Structure 1
Amino acid sequence: MAKQDPLSSALATVDHVLRQRFPDDFDKRCMYAAFGLRALLRRTGIGSEIVGGRYTCFVVSADLQHASHQGFGTGSNDQASHYWVEAQGYLLDPGPHYLPLRSSFPAAPIPMVRWPLASPIPHFMRYQEQARYHQEAKLRSSQEIQDRMNQFLAACEEARTDVATPCWQLKGMESLRYAAGNRDRWALGALRFIAEYPPSSLPF
């Protein structure tokens, strides 16, 4: 197996450990994913920042007959409902890949996000920043949650680094068009959505 770059390796490792540590609800553990990504990237000398806010994404049914925007909660004015990481000029987020698990209809798979920050994301998904945490910020929560986080981070540090990501990565419009050319259902639906619907159709 070819060696993965540090960003892909971090995404794959965090996904692997999330599924091991939280088998029943790993898709709801975006804060753990963000702290795990930051820790793994730091180990390779890459600085990163955790960002909190709101998130919504285009979701399409496996048969391409139904679609909607779904996300990880709307959040209050001062409370983030989703967390992701920015590093080396990219927005990193495994969370979109988990959205189909709790979709209101059987949904087509969604990739993990590795989008270049220099390029605005089209309105098939939207991130709205509410808080930004510098690379040395600590988790402030109950002792139970802090202990659980420390155990998760330790598992990330001890995990194999050669695990593969479970899906393709959305690295920009070129990767989206490439996936659509290979008949990826989500990519096809996302391109159709931005062609037919305005940005104002999103919930925020």
Structure 2
Amino acid sequence: MTKFIHLFTFDIKLLRYLYFFPFVTYVLCALFMFITGARSDDPYMPYIFVQGIAVPLAGWHLIFLYSSLYEEGAKETLIVYYRKVLITDIIRYSLLHGIFISLLVGLTTWINGPDFFTGTLMMHLILLFIFFQMVGLAILSATNSLDITLAIVATYTLVEVVTQGTFMPWPHLFIFEEPIRDIQLGLTFLSLGAGILLSTTQLWWAFK
């Protein structure tokens, strides 16, 4: 626990105001969920803020932290350190953001009722959370660019959320309506599983 506290303290000093960006987003998500929950009859409207905004942004901490590795001339010096703490960093930030996502899930349950989160929806949310904890870091390690990584993640997420998965026939990761056990739902889970596997492989190659 002392080691974790030390690492979090170091991260705050390193990122400064950027460190608190995801937490501010969580507060805004909760506010918007209250507003939309009161104005809309669609139970998936509050949940969109959880899966479409909060969960993707939960992975940005790792992107910000590891971006320093790809600054000019830094990789040769920092790669040894980051190689040692990669798994620890993924675990501690998954636990940290998992707490906040759980609070938003609790808020969604309070707005929509205890029957909203089915087993299928909970499994989807867990896989989506794992995916976004890893995919941003995997893209960063492949592109070596913070700007490109954020652009890819933000553009994909924004297009999917705004169009609710109807814009292009690419892999769709979100669920915007009552899940039905059909091929579309299967493809969503397949896409998440493939993304997690590919991200794991990319991180292994980049940090081995």
Normalized against structure 2, the TM-score is what?
0.27
Where is the strand percentage greater, Structure 1 or Structure 2? 1
